[in-house]
Structure formats: structure tokens, C-alpha cells
Structure 1
Amino acid sequence: MKRLSNLLAALVFASLVIFMSCGGGGDDPAPDPLADDLANLTVSGGWSNPTTVTTDNGTADGVWTTFGISFTGTVDGGTYTVSNVPDGFSDVWADGTWTFGNDNGSVITRVQGGVTTDITASIADGSLTLTFDVTESGARTSGISGEWTFVFN
């Protein structure tokens, strides 16, 4: 009888161990695919001193060597601030807001002065490339309309 009691206790214990190890797992939320892009985009100190600034496949006018941009926010978007924009180029960059334009971080939608622009973005550890078109009405008359690319390393 004692042997049967020990066997029954062992079976109950084994059953409890099996049931405790089952399930769970479903409570953890799926990782957000934009989390890494956000972390790389919102680096401390922002992005400054672009290594390359081009427009329509040529060297951009103005002195952009000290230009800087800093993004803050969450995966749902936020604000950005710019510094050292050359005189006359506020249609290219001015402070504004941003959101990710797709689920993989390759598009950033900015709103700057009421104008919405989709920016093609390549975001990786230590580098950021932003390409977009400037089409505002004042940009054409000031000669700065067209495609712009900024590369930061």
C-alpha cells in the first residue's frame, strides 16, 4: 500500500511539472519591426556633418558640412530639429514632424511647414541616408527643387 501511495504521489508530481511547463509564451508581444530603426534614427546627439549631400546627381549648392538633424519620438513618430541649414535652403530642411511611412522603416514621412514629403531612408548602425524630392512652390523659383540625398556616417 505504501508503494502505491508513493507511486501515486510521483505521478501527481510529474503531472504538475508537465502542466506547469506547458502554455505561457503567448503572452509575450511580438517584437516591433520598427524598434531597431527607431533606435538607430534617434541616436543620442543626432546626425551631423553629412559626408555627402547631392541634388539631381550633382553636388548640392550651399555649405552643408555642418548641417545636423536630430530625431525624437517613438515608433509612432515624433519631431525632428535641424541646425546649420545654409541660408536660402529652408525649403530643403526646417524643423518639423515625422512618422514611419511603412512597416520596415524604409520610408519616413515628414511634415515641414504644412508640406508632407515621403523620404526614402536607409537606417543602419552608424549610417543614415535620406533621399527625397523638394517640390514646394518657392523651391522651384529659388532653384532648389529636385531630388536631394543626405548621407551621414
Structure 2
Amino acid sequence: MKRLSNLLAALVFASLVIFMSCGGGSDDPPPDPLVEVAANLTGTAYAEPSNVQTDGGAADGDWSGFGINFSGNQNGGSYTVSGVPDGFGDVWTNGTWEFGNASGSVITKTHTGSTTSTDMTATIASGSLTLTFDVDEPSARTNGIAGQWTFVFN
């Protein structure tokens, strides 16, 4: 009888060890969604916007030669622009960017030399990028510059 009692105790102990080793899953943290969004944003040089609007209508200036290139990672980075039409430096100039929310749908841009930043709504899908933001800086006094801007790159 003592032998059966010892065997039963050994089985209970072995069962506890087995159940304790069966964890509830991995201790790895979930992937950061900003890593993927940043890879898509910085992995493409965006040139020649297919559509540029201000306040819902056609934008002034010739934006056909405009391009933007983002560099960095999920913690932000910098961007460089080219082909900005004369007089539209309040809309785009080189600067820095960072994500403004946890999903990556908002990018905060800050022009080089500026102390103010602008939140942009960003949509990245299948190599397409849409950026929407407001220009309301005190220096944006030129007709056609102040207002909501939308740039669509395909």
C-alpha cells in the first residue's frame, strides 16, 4: 500500500510539472504596427503627385515636378522635398516627421527652422500615399496657400 501511495504522489508531482510548463503563450510582445507603416512610408520615394488640392479645389502652382522622400523608422525621421513651386515654401520645405498616433495614420511634420508642427492625415495603401494637412502658419499670407491641402501620390 505504501508503494501505491508513493506512486500516486509521484504521478501528481509529474502532472503538476507538466501543467506548469505548458505556458499560456509566448512572452514576446505583440508587433508594433508603426514598424510596418514606417517601412511602407520610407520604402518609397513619392514623386509627381497625381492630385493636389487646396480647400477641395485645384491648387495654385505647378506641382508636377514635386517629390518627397521620407527616411527614418517607427520613431520618426526626416523628409526632403524637391520641385516645390516658387512661393509655396509654407506648404512644403525639408523637415522632420514623427507619428502622431499609435496606428500611423497621423504624421506630424515640422519644417526645418520652424518651431511649429503640423499634423497630417496619412493614408498608405498599395504604394499609394495621400497626405492631408492644414497650412495656417502666420507666414502663409499668399493667396492660395492658407487652407487644407491634399496630396495624392500613386
TM value normalised by structure 1: 0.82
* Partner residue in 2 for 1:7: none
The answer on whether the counterparts of 2:59 and 2:144 sit within 8 Å (CA) in structure 1 is no
Residue 61 of structure 1 deviates from its aligned partner by 1.0
State the superposition RMSD in angstroms.
2.5
SS state at 1:40 partner: helix
Conservation of the 8 A alpha-carbon contact between 1:134 and 1:147: yes
Q: Offset of 1:142 from its aligned partner?
A: 4.6
The verdict on how the C-alpha distance between 1:39 and 1:125 changes in structure 2, with shifts beyond 3 A counting, is farther
**Once the two structures are superposed, what CA deviation does each residue of 1:30-49 show, in whole Å capped at 9, x if it has no partner?**
100112211211124x1111
- Greater Cα offset, 85-94 or 112-121: 112-121
Q: Name the counterpart of 2:87.
A: 88
Match of residue 110 from structure 2? 111
Q: For residues 2-151 of structure 1, what are the structure 2 equivalents within 5 Å? A: 18=18, 22-23=22-23, 25-44=25-44, 46-112=45-111, 113-114=113-114, 115-151=116-152
Structure 2's unaligned 5+ residue stretches are: 1-10
Per-residue CA deviation, residues 48-80 of structure 1 (Å, 9 max, x unaligned), is 111000001111111111211111111111101
Q: 1:34 aligns to what SS in structure 2?
A: helix
1:60–1:25: structure 2 CA closer, same or farther, 3 Å change rule?
Answer: same
Shift of 1:146: 0.5
> What is the percentage of aligned positions where both structures have the same residue?
65
Q: Secondary structure at the match of 2:61?
A: coil
Cα shift readout 1:67-118 (whole Å, capped 9, x = no counterpart): 1111111111110110111111110000000010001111101111322100
Q: Tell me how far 1:139 sits from its aligned partner.
A: 1.2
Describe the SS at the equivalent of 1:97: strand
Rounded to whole Å, the distance in 2 between the matches of 1:35 and 1:138 is 35
Equivalent AA in structure 1 for residue 109 of structure 2: R
Note the C-alpha offset of 1:20.
Answer: 9.9
Deviation at 1:138, TM superposition (A): 2.1
Per-residue deviation, 1:19? 6.8
Q: Is the 8 A contact 1:68 1:83 kept in 2?
A: yes
Matched pairs, number: 144
Q: Which amino acid aligns with 2:140?
A: A
Give ranges in structure 1 of 5+ residues lacking alignment: 1-10
Paired residue secondary structure (1:36): helix
